[in-house]
C-alpha cells in the first residue's frame, strides 16, 4: 500500500507579464512512495525537482494527473482537493521542509518550532518540551530559544526551520535540500532524524545535493529529467 | 485551526452584487467560509474589497445575491431576510467589525474600559464588577496596561487604539470578524505586534475572519485562503500560498511580482 502516488502529473506556467509565454515545466510525472521508503529526486538544477514537491504540497496547482495522499485510511487527491482538504492533509499528514525559515515577527524560536504540534492539538506545554528537545538536537543555543529568529544568522534560522519541519511525525515528508550549507554535525542530525522517521513508517520524498547524505537516506532515486517537458 | 471534514459552512455568499447607480461596486461574489478560517480579500483600491466586506457584514444591502449565516443554534438564516433588530443583534454579538480607522469603531469620548464593556452590556451583562473584570482581562490580552483602562482612546497612540478596537470586538466571543485594512496606517513595528496578536487570538478562539488588505505579506501571514479582486469582481481565489506562489490571473501575477523584497 503506497502512502503517496503521483500519476501523469503535468505543470505549465503561463507568464502573463511576458506576453502570455507558456513554460511547460513537467509532464507525465509518475512515481509512488511506500511507508518507510525514501525517494530522492535527482536531476540538474532547473529540472523541476522543487516544483514536484510544491505540487505535492499544494503550493502549485496541478494542470493534469493525480497526486494521491493516503492519511488515516482516507485518500485525498491534492490535484483536485478543495483548499480546506489540502489544509487538513497538511496539518495531519504532510510535512514540507526547506532550508528557508519564514520568520513571524515577535514569535520566539521555541514557539515557531512548537507551532505545528500545537496546530495538531498537542497541549502547548507538551509541544514546548518536544520543541526544546529538537532545538537541542540541532545545537541551537538555549539562550536563543525565547527570541524571535528574524535577526539570527542564516545557519541558525535554517536549523530552527528544520527543527520545526521535522518535529511533527507526519506520515509523508517532503524535504527540499534540508542539509544545504549545514555543517557536518548538523547534517548528521538530519540524517539521524530522517532515518528515525523512516523507521516510524514515514514516506519521504527528498531533494538532496550532498551525495553522502543522499546515500545515507535514499532507497530509490527518481531521475526528474524523464519528466521534463521537451522545450 | 482544526478541520472537521463534514462541518457545515458558517457563512455562504452567493452571487453577491452591488451597483451604486450605474457604477459597479462588486459583481457575483460567491464563496463559503468555515469556522476558524481566515480569508484575505486583496486587490488595489477601488477594486471592490470594502464593498464586499460591507455587503457580507450586512451594512449595505446587495442589489442581487444572498448571504446565509449559520446561527449558534445551528439554524441557517438569510442575513437580508431577517429583521433589522435581529441583524443588528448579530452584528453586536456574534460578529465583529474592525475598521481601518479606529475612530470609526470606538467611542472616542468613552474610557477604554467603557468601550469594551459596552459590547457586553449589549448582550445583557449588568454586573459592574464582572464587566470591569472582563474589560481588564481583554485589555491585558491586547497588551494594554491595566492603568490605562480609565483613559479615553483620545489619549492612546494609533497602535493602542487599534488594539482597543480589537478587544472591543472580541469581548463577546464572536464567531466571525470582518476587518478592513486592520494594519493600514500603522508603522511596521506596531503592525508586527498587531499581526502577531491577531494571529494568536484568532487561532486560539477559532474565529472566522474576512480581512481586507492590500498587503500581500499580511495576507500570507494571517490567511488560509485568498480572494483577489479587480474592478468589482473576484478574479482568482484559492489557498493562500497557492495563489501567491502560483498566481494564474494576469492581475494576480502583476500583484505578486510587484512586491519589493525587504
| A124 near B CB under 8 A | no
How far apart CA B121 and CA B114 sit, in angstroms, is: 10
Instruction: Specify the length of chain A in residues.
Output: 231
Indicate which CATH number applies to the domain containing B49. 3.40.50.300
Cβ–Cβ of B246/A105 closer than 8 Å?
Answer: no
Question: Is residue B219 located within the same domain as residue B161?
Answer: no
**For residue A231, what pLDDT is reported?**
47
Domain boundary among B147, B173, B199: B173
Compute the distance between CA of residue A137 and CA of residue B86 in angstroms, rounded to an integer: 56
What is the number of domains present in chain A? 2
Measure CB to CB from residue B242 to each of A15, A59, A84 and give the nearest one: A59
Alpha carbon of B253 to those of A20, B83, B176, B257: distances in Å?
Answer: 11, 43, 30, 6
Burial A71-104 (b: 16+ CB within 10 A, else e): beeeebebbebebbbbbbbbbbbbbbbbbebebb
- For residue A146, the 8-state DSSP code is T
**Domain membership flag for residue B21:** yes
Neighbours of A218 (CB within 10 A): 20
In a shared domain, residues A101 and A164: yes
Specify whether A73 is located in the same domain as A103. no
Grid cell digits, residue A131: 520543541
Is the per-residue pLDDT at B160 higher than 50? yes
Query: Residue A30's domain spans which residues?
Result: 1-93+175-191+203-231
pLDDT, residue B186, reads 81
Residue A4 and residue A82 in one domain: yes
Residues B127 and B155 in one domain: yes
- B26 lies in some domain: yes
Residue A229: is its pLDDT beyond 70? no
Q: Does residue B183 sit in the same domain as residue B112?
A: no
Which run of H or of E encompasses A40? strand A38-42
Looking at the structure, tell me whether residues B179 and B189 fall in a common domain. Answer: yes
Same domain (yes/no): A72, A23: yes
Same domain assignment for residues A51 and A113: no
Q: Write out the residue range of the structural domain in which residue B167 sits.
A: 104-173
Residue B172 has pLDDT above 50, yes or no: yes
A37 in a structural domain? yes
Residues A6 and A79 in one domain: yes
| Cα–Cα distance for residue pair B168/B135, rounded to 1 Å | 8
Q: How many domains does chain B have?
A: 2
Residue A80 and residue A66 share a domain: yes
- Looking at the structure, tell me whether residues A105 and A75 fall in a common domain: no
Nearest CA in chain A to B221: A104
Per-residue DSSP letters for B50-84?
A: HHHHHHHTTSS--SEEEEEEE-TTS-EEETTTS-H
pLDDT of the residue at B262 = 55
Q: Across all residues in chain B, what is the average pLDDT?
A: 91
Q: Is B242 on the interface with A (CB under 8 A)?
A: yes
One domain for residues A231 and A209: yes
CA distance A143 to chain B (A): 22
For residue A36, give the nearest of A73, A70, A3, A69 by alpha carbon. Answer: A3
Is residue B194 situated within a structural domain? yes
Residues A155 and A231 in one domain: no
In this structure, the answer to whether residues A160 and A117 fall within a common structural domain is: yes
Report the half-sphere exposure of A12 (CA within 13 A, side-chain side): 15
Digit-coded pLDDT (tens) for A29-54 = 999 999 999 999 999 988 999 999 99
Q: Are residues B201 and B138 in the same domain?
A: no
**Cβ-Cβ contacts under 8 Å, B239 against chain A:** 58, 83, 86-87
Reply yes or no on whether the pLDDT at B259 is more than 90. no
For all residues of chain A together, what is the average pLDDT? 92
Going by pLDDT thresholds of 50, 70 and 90, the confidence category of residue B91 is: confident
- Chain-chain contact of A59 with B257 (C-beta, under 8 angstroms): no
Which residues on chain B are in Cβ contact (under 8 Å) with A86?
Answer: 239
Q: Say if CB B56 and CB B178 are below 8 A apart.
A: yes
Domain boundary among B155, B173, B191: B173
Q: Check whether residue B151 and residue B181 sit in a common domain.
A: no
Q: Per the CB < 8 Å rule, is B5 touching A17?
A: no
Distance CA A50, CA B37 (A): 28
Q: Does A121 touch chain B (CB under 8 A)?
A: yes
Same domain assignment for residues B210 and B156: no
Cell 481601518 belongs to residue: B100
Prediction ipTM score: 0.89
Extract the C-alpha cell encoding A45. 538544477
Question: Residue A218 maps to which CATH number?
Answer: 3.40.50.300
Q: How many CA within 13 A on the CB side of residue A136?
A: 6
Q: Which residues contact A222 (CB under 8 A, 6 or more apart)?
A: A31, A39, A40, A41, A42
B134 is a domain residue: yes
Cα-Cα-Cα-Cα dihedral of B57, B58, B64, B69, to 10°? 70
- B5 pLDDT more than 70: no
* A/B interface, count of CB pairs below 8 Å: 60
The pLDDT value given to residue A223: 95
B54 within a domain of the structure (yes/no): yes
Tell me whether residue B1 is in a domain: no
Residue of A nearest to B256 (CA): A17
Would you state the pLDDT for residue B12?
Answer: 96
Q: Of A76, A46, A82, give the one whose Cα is nearest residue A61.
A: A82
CB B174 within 8 A of CB B206: no
Say if A196 falls within a structural domain: no
CB atoms B253 and A107 under 8 Å:
no
Give residue B217's region: left, alpha or beta (phi > 0; psi -120 to 50). alpha
Residue A198 counted as domain residue: no
Shared-domain flag, residues A89 and A182: yes
- Pair (B241, B186) in one structural domain: yes
Tell which of B173, B192, B208 closes a domain.
Answer: B173
> How far is residue B30's CA from residue B24's CA, in Å, rounded to a whole number?
16
Q: Which residues of A30-45 are buried (b: 16+ CB within 10 A; e: fewer)?
A: ebebebebbbbbbbee
Question: Which residue from B minimizes the CA distance to A91?
Answer: B2
My answer on whether B114 and B32 are in the same domain is no
Q: Are residues B28 and B132 in the same domain?
A: no
Chain B contacts in chain A segment 51-90 (CB below 8 A) = 54, 58-61, 83-88
Find chain A residues with C-beta within 8 A of B255's C-beta.
Answer: none
Do residue B245 and residue A86 have CB atoms under 8 angstroms apart? no
Are the beta carbons of B2 and A83 separated by less than 8 Å? no
B99 in a structural domain = no
pLDDT digits (tens, 9 = 90+) for A102-144: 877 788 999 999 999 998 889 999 999 999 999 999 999 999 9
Grid cell at residue B184: 493600514
Residue B218 has pLDDT above 80, yes or no: yes
A103, closest residue in chain B (CA to CA)? B221
By the 8 A CB rule, do B97 and B169 touch? yes
A23, A10 contact by CB (below 8 A): no
Residue B225, pLDDT > 70, answer yes
- Other CB atoms closer than 10 Å to residue B108's CB: what's the count? 13
Residue B128 within a domain = yes
Euclidean distance between CA atoms A70 and A93, whole angstroms: 8
From the candidates A61, A75, A100, A127, which should be mutated to test the interface with B, based on the most B CB atoms within 10 A?
A61
Amino acid at each position: 500500500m503506497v502512502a503517496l502516488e503521483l500519476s501523469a502529473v503535468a505543470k505549465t506556467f503561463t507568464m502573463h507579464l511576458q506576453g502570455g509565454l507558456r513554460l511547460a515545466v513537467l509532464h507525465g510525472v509518475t512515481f509512488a512512495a511506500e511507508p518507510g521508503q525514501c525517494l530522492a529526486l535527482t536531476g540538474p538544477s532547473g529540472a523541476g525537482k522543487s516544483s514536484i514537491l510544491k505540487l505535492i504540497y499544494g503550493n502549485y496547482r496541478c494542470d493534469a494527473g493525480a497526486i494521491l495522499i493516503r492519511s488515516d485510511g482516507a485518500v485525498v487527491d491534492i490535484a483536485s482537493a478543495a483548499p480546506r482538504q489540502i489544509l487538513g492533509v497538511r496539518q495531519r499528514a504532510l510535512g514540507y521542509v526547506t532550508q528557508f525559515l519564514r520568520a513571524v515577527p515577535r514569535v520566539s524560536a521555541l514557539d515557531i518550532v512548537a507551532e505545528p504540534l500545537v496546530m495538531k492539538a498537542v497541549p502547548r506545554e507538551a509541544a514546548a518540551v518536544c520543541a526544546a528537545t529538537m532545538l537541542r538536537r540541532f545545537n541551537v543555543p538555549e539562550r536563543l530559544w525565547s527570541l524571535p529568529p528574524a535577526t539570527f544568522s542564516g545557519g541558525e534560522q535554517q536549523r530552527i526551520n528544520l527543527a520545526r519541519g521535522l518535529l511533527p511525525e507526519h506520515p509523508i515528508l517532503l524535504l527540499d535540500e534540508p542539509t544545504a550549507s549545514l555543517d557536518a554535525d548538523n547534517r548528521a542530525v538530519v540524517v539521524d532524524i530522517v532515518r528515525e522517521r523512516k523507521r516510524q513508517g514515514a514516506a519521504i520524498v527528498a531533494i538532496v545535493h550532498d551525495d553522502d547524505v543522499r546515500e545515507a537516506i535514499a532507497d530509490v532515486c527518481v531521475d526528474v529529467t524523464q519528466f521534463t517537458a521537451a522545450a | 485551526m482544526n478541520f472537521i471534514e463534514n462541518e457545515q459552512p458558517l457563512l455562504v455568499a452567493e452571487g453577491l452584487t452591488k451597483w451604486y447607480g450605474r457604477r459597479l461596486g462588486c459583481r457575483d461574489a460567491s464563496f463559503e467560509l468555515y469556522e476558524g478560517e481566515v480569508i484575505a480579500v486583496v486587490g488595489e483600491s477601488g477594486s471592490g474589497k470594502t464593498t464586499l466586506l460591507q455587503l457580507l457584514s450586512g451594512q449595505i444591502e446587495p442589489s442581487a445575491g444572498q448571504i446565509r449565516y449559520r446561527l449558534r443554534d445551528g439554524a441557517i438564516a438569510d442575513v437580508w431576510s431577517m429583521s433589522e433588530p435581529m441583524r443588528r443583534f448579530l452584528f453586536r454579538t456574534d460578529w465583529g467589525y474592525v475598521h481601518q480607522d479606529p475612530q470609526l469603531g470606538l467611542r472616542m469620548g468613552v474610557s477604554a474600559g467603557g468601550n469594551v464593556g459596552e459590547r457586553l452590556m449589549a448582550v445583557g451583562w449588568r454586573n459592574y464588577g464582572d464587566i470591569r473584570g472582563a474589560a481588564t482581562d481583554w485589555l491585558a490580552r491586547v497588551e494594554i496596561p491595566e492603568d490605562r483602562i480609565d483613559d479615553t482612546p483620545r489619549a492612546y497612540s494609533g497602535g493602542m487604539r487599534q488594539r482597543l478596537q480589537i478587544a472591543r470586538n472580541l469581548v463577546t466571543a464572536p464567531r466571525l470578524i470582518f476587518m478592513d485594512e486592520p494594519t493600514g496606517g500603522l508603522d511596521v513595528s506596531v503592525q508586527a505586534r498587531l499581526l502577531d496578536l491577531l494571529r494568536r487570538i484568532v487561532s486560539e478562539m477559532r474565529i472566522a475572519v474576512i480581512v481586507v488588505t492590500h498587503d500581500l505579506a499580511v495576507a500570507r501571514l494571517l490567511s488560509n485562503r485568498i480572494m483577489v479582486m479587480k474592478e468589482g469582481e473576484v478574479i482568482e481565489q484559492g489557498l493562500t500560498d497557492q495563489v501567491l506562489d502560483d498566481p494564474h490571473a494576469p492581475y494576480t501575477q502583476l500583484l505578486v511580482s510587484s512586491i519589493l523584497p525587504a
